[in-house]
Amino acid sequence: MKKLLICTLLLLIAIFTVGYSTRKQTARRVLRLSRMRYRVSITKNIVIITPEGVSLVADHYAPRADSDFPTILIRTPYGRNHQNSNFGWYLEFVGNRFAERGYHVLIQDVRGRFESDGEFSPYFGEREDAEATIAWLESQTWFNGTIGMWGGSYLGIVQWVIAPYNPSIKAIVPGITSSDLYPILYPDGALDLGLAMRWMAVFDQLDRLKGKPLIYSVTFWQNVERKAKKAFAHLPIYDDDTVSLDRQIDYFRLWIDNSDPATPAWDEMHQPDILNHMTIPVHLVGGWYDFFLRGTLHDYDQLRASGKNPYLTIGAGHHFTTIASMIELQEGIKWFDVHLKGADAGVLRQKPVRLYMMGRGEWRDYDVFPPAQAKSIPFYLHEGAVLSPHVPQDESSDSYTYDPQSPTPYMGGTQFHLWNAGKRNNWRIERRDDVLVYTSTPLDAPLEVIGYVRLQLYVTSDVFCVDFYGRLCDVHPNGKSYNVCDGLVRVSAKDATLQADGTWCIEVDMWATAHCFLPQHRLRLQIASGAHPRWARNLCMDEPFATAITSQPATQHIFHDENHPSALVLPIMQ
C-alpha cells in the first residue's frame, strides 16, 4: 500500500509538472488563440495618484521586446492578481495571454478595492479615476498612444464610463455588461434582490479571504448564498444589508433610497446619449442566460440606431459560464489585433453578429440582430392549458392566487447565481398552484426562434399593484421542461391600459433568445405573479417597496377569448 501511495504521488507530481510546463501551449490550443510571440515581464504594485490624492494600484504586463505595442487597460473591483483573490488568477491569465501577443496590459484595482485607496461606490467616480490612469499611461515611455479596454461585468461597466470621452481609447470589448446600471438593478421597475444581495456578499467574502491560501475559497459560493438568503425572506428590504452582512452598505442604501430612476442620484450614471458619442469599434459579448442580456442588446440597438456597426457575440451561457468560456478573450485578441495593430480584417468573421443557436447546438452568423428573416407570430392561450397558433373563440378565463408570504420562486434563468442559473428542468415550478401552464402540441418540424419574445395578456386582479411573469420553455419528448427565456412586468391600476370591460391589457417583455424547438418537442408558457428573488416580490400593497412590511394575496384572472386574445408572440425564422 505504501509503495502504491508513493507511486501515485509521483505520478501526480509528474502530471502536474508536465501540465504546468505546457500550460501556455495548452491554453492556446484549447482556446484557439493566435500564436504566442513574446515572453512576458510583470511589474507589480504600481501606484497611480489621482488629482484628488487617491492611490490606485495596478500591475503591468509587458512583452519582452523593444517595439511599438498598444495597451490594454483592465479595471476591476474583484482583485487584480492571485494575491488579492481567486478572480485575480483569471486576470493574471488574461494579462499574460494579451502580453504574449504584443500588448502592454495594465490591470488595476478600482477605487476602494484591495490595494487601491478610497471608498468603493459602484460606477460613481470611475470616469475620474480612469482619466487619471490614462494620464499616467500617456506619461510612460513605452506607451504608443493607443488603448483598448477589455473585460466583462463590472469590468465592462467601467469601459462605458470613459470610452466615449477619451481620444486615446481606440477600441473596446465590453462583455456581459451594460452601459446603464439602473435597469440592471431594477429590471422592469422591480429590484433584482438576488443580484443586489449576492453581489454584496461576493465583496464581503473577497474581503474576508484576501491574502489567504486558495484552500480557504472552497466554500466561497456557499458562504455567498448563505449570507444572501438571510435577506430574501426578510422585510423591510431597506434593512437587508444589515440582515445579510451585519452592517450597512452605503451604496445599497443609495440604490434603495433612489429607486425612482428620475432622482438626481442617477444623473451621472444614466446618460441616454452615451452611445451616440461612440466613434470607436465596439464588440459586445453576452450570454442568453445572463442577467445583463437585455442591457447588452439595448446597447447594440442604440449603437445601430446611431449609425454604428458593432459586433455582437452571444453564447448559450449564464453570467459565470460565459466568463469561464473565455469567449471574451478569444474575441478580444482578434478585435484588438485589427483595430489597435492594423492587422488584416480577414481575421474577423465576415458578418458582425454571431449567435449560439440553442436546441441546435451550433453557432450562426447574421448581418443584424434580430435577423431580417424573423417574423412575429402569435401563439394564443386557450382553455385546457393549450398553446396554439389558432385564435381563441368563446372561452372561459383561468385564475390563480399569488401569496407574497410564499412568493413563486425563480429557478435557473438569468439570475446572478453560480450553479442555479441557466437551463433547468422546471417541473417543480410548473406543479405549483400559483403558476399557470399552457403547452402546444408536439411539433412536426423544427421551429427556430431568434429575437425578442413578448407576452400579451388581458388580465384582471383584485389588488391595486401586482406583477405578471412569463417564461417560455422547451418540453422535450421525455416530458422534461427546460426554460428558454422569461420576463416580468410590474403594473398598477393607475398605469395599466384599461379596456372598456375593465380588463387590463399588458405586455411582458420576455427578453430575447435564439432557440430551435426540434420535432416532437412542445412549446410551453408559464404565467405567474412572482419570480423571487430575481425580481423582489410584490407585496401587493400601495406602499413604498423599501419600507413595506405588510402584504396581501392577489387573485389574477387571465382571459383568452375572441375579444381578449392573450398570446405569446415569437420571432420565428421564415
**pLDDT of amino acid 16:** 41
Residue 163: CB atoms within 10 A of its CB come to 25
Total domain count, the chain? 2
**pLDDT of amino acid 31:** 77
Asked if the structure places residue 447 within a domain, the reply is yes
**pLDDT of amino acid 8:** 46
3-state secondary structure 234-257: CCCHHHHHHHHHCCCCHHHHHHHH
Asked if the structure places residue 106 within a domain, the reply is no
Asked if the structure places residue 379 within a domain, the reply is yes
Question: Low-confidence residues of the chain, pLDDT below 70?
Answer: 1-29, 270-272
**Contact indicator for 172, 96 with CB cutoff of 8 Å:** no
Asked if the structure places residue 60 within a domain, the reply is no
Asked if the structure places residue 345 within a domain, the reply is no
Asked if the structure places residue 138 within a domain, the reply is no
Residue 376: CB atoms within 10 A of its CB come to 13
- pTM value surpassing 0.85: yes
**pLDDT of amino acid 3:** 53
Nearest to residue 266, comparing CAs of 280, 278, 251, 247?
Answer: 251
**pLDDT of amino acid 9:** 42
CATH of the domain at 502: 2.60.120.260
What is the Cα Rg of the chain in Å? 25
Q: Which residues pair with 311 in a beta bridge?
A: 283
**pLDDT of amino acid 18:** 44
Domain range for residue 477? 374-573
Asked if the structure places residue 265 within a domain, the reply is no
pLDDT tens figures, 170-199: 999 999 999 999 999 999 999 999 999 999
pLDDT tens figures, 443-478: 999 999 999 999 999 999 999 899 999 999 999 999
Q: Using CA atoms, how far apart are residues 490 and 127, in angstroms rounded to an integer?
A: 33
Asked if the structure places residue 200 within a domain, the reply is no
Q: Using CA atoms, how far apart are residues 339 and 522, in angstroms rounded to an integer?
A: 45
Provide DSSP, 336-383: HHHHTT---GGGS-SSSEEEEEBTTTEEEEESSSS-TTEEEEEEEEET
